[in-house]
Amino acid sequence: MKKLLPKNKLISLAVPLIAVLLGILIGAIVMLFTGYNPVLGYSALLAGIFSDTYYIGETIRTMTPLILSGLAVAFAFRTGLFNIGVEGQVIVGWLASVYVGIVLELPKLIHLPVAILAGALAGALWGFIPGILKARFQVHEVIVTIMMNYIALYTANYLIRAFLLVPGERTEAISKSASLASPFLQSLTDYSRLHYGFIVALLGCVVMWFILWKTSKGFELRAVGFNQHASQYSGMNVKKNIVLAMVISGGFAGVAGAMEGLGTYGYMSILSGFTGVGFDGIAVALLGANTGVGVLLASFLFGGLQIGALNMQSKAGVPVELIDIVIALIIFFVASSYIIRWVMNRIKKEGI
C-alpha cells in the first residue's frame, strides 16, 4: 500500500495536467482547420497574460471570484453534494453586499467586513433552501439549485428595478468605506481593476482547508459525504450536516459575488443573463481536484485564458470563442479522467 499511494497521487496530479495539454492541443488543431495560425494565436495568448502589468492585474482580478466560486463547488463535492446553484448564490451575494455598501454609513474597518458578511449570509441562505429540502424531503440538490439560479437572477433584477435603480440600469455606487478598490494595487498594475478581494479569496482557500481537515465538524461533513448510512450508524446527524454543507458552500459563493460588487464594479447592474462566475466555478473545482491549492491554480488558468483571449483576437485575429472551445475541451478531458487513468495504467503495465 505504501508503494501504491505515491503512484495514485502522481496519477491524480497528472490527470488535470494532461487534460489541459489535450485541450490546448486540440484547440490548436481547431485553429489550423479554421485557417488560423496556432503558434501565433497561443503566443498572443501568453503575451496577453504576462507581457504587461495591466493584463497581470486583470488576470488576478478575474481569478478572485473564480477562486471563491470554485471553493463553493469544491466544498460541496467534498461533502457528497453537487451545488450547481453557485451562480444564483453569487448573484444574491453580489446584491446583498452592494445594498449594505449603499445604505449603511460606517467606518471602513466596520463597513467593509459587514458588506462582505452580508454577501456571505445571502449566499448561505440561498444554499440553505436546497440543503433543507435535501435533508428533510430527499429532494435532489441539483434540481433545486438549478431552479434557484433563475429565481436569484429575476429576483435580483426586480429588486434593482423596484428599489435601487438609477440611470444606467444599475444601482447607485457603494460608499468608499465599503469598497475593496485599491489605488495602490491599481497603480502597480497600470491602473487595472485589481483590488484587495484577492486577499479575501486566498483566505477562503485557507478557511476551506481548515474546516474540512482540521476540525471535527469537517471530519463529520466529509464522512457524511462518503457514506451517509455509516455516518448515521456512528451517531452523526446526517441531516444537519447536509444543511450545514450547503450553507457553507453557499457562503463561499456569496463572497464571490461580494468581490464583484465591492471590488470590480462597485455597483450591480440589471443582468440580462447569468454572470458565468458560478458555472465557471464548477470547471475550476473539477480541474483543481476539489482542493484549495488546486482551485487556486485552476482559477489562474481560467482567468488567464479569459484575459489572454482578448489579446488573441486583437493581435492574431483568432475569435474569442475559440478559448471557450479550449476551456470546454479541458473540462471534457477532466470529466473523462477515467480514460486518461486507463491509458496511463496500460502504459505502466506494458512498460511503454
pLDDT digits (tens, 9 = 90+) for 283-299: 999 889 899 999 999 99
Give the architecture-level CATH label for domain 27-350.
Answer: Orthogonal Bundle (1.10)
Confidence check: pLDDT of 348 > 90: no
Confidence check: pLDDT of 154 > 80: yes
Confidence check: pLDDT of 351 > 60: no
Confidence check: pLDDT of 335 > 80: no
Please give the Cα distance from 70 to 76 (Å, whole number). 10
Please give the Cα distance from 159 to 171 (Å, whole number). 10
What pLDDT does residue 101 have? 97
Please give the Cα distance from 190 to 233 (Å, whole number). 58
What pLDDT does residue 145 have? 96
The grid cell for 31 is 485553429
Confidence check: pLDDT of 209 > 90: yes
3-state secondary structure 192-258: CCCECHHHHHHHHHHHHHHHHHHCHHHHHHHHHHHCHHHHHHCCCCHHHHHHHHHHHHHHHHHHHHH
How would you class 310 by CB atoms within 10 Å of its CB: exposed for 0-12, middle for 13-18, buried for 19 or more? middle
What pLDDT does residue 3 have? 46
Distances (CA, A) of 115 to 43, 183, 191: 41, 20, 24
What pLDDT does residue 11 have? 62
Torsion angles phi and psi, residue 278, rounded to 5: -70, -40
Q: Tell which residue, 91, 266, 263, has the closest CA to residue 166.
A: 266
169: left (phi over 0), alpha (psi -120 to 50) or beta: left
Helix axes 197-214, 292-311, angle to 10 degrees: 150
What pLDDT does residue 1 have? 40
Question: What mean pLDDT is reported for the chain?
Answer: 90
Confidence check: pLDDT of 56 > 50: yes
Residue 325: which pLDDT band, with cuts at 50, 70 and 90? confident
Three-point CA angle 289, 294, 297, nearest 5°: 135
List the chain domain ranges: 27-350
Residue linked to cell 448515521: 232
Any idea which of 5-14, 33-42, 307-316 has the lowest mean pLDDT? 5-14
The whole-number average pLDDT for the span 77-106 is 96
Distances (CA, A) of 232 to 15, 164, 171, 225, 268: 34, 47, 47, 11, 43
Query: For residues 76 and 288, is the Cβ–Cβ distance under 8 A?
Result: no
Please give the Cα distance from 101 to 209 (Å, whole number). 29
For residues 133, 139, 143 and 149, what is the CA-based torsion angle, rounded to 10 degrees? 0
What pLDDT does residue 111 have? 97
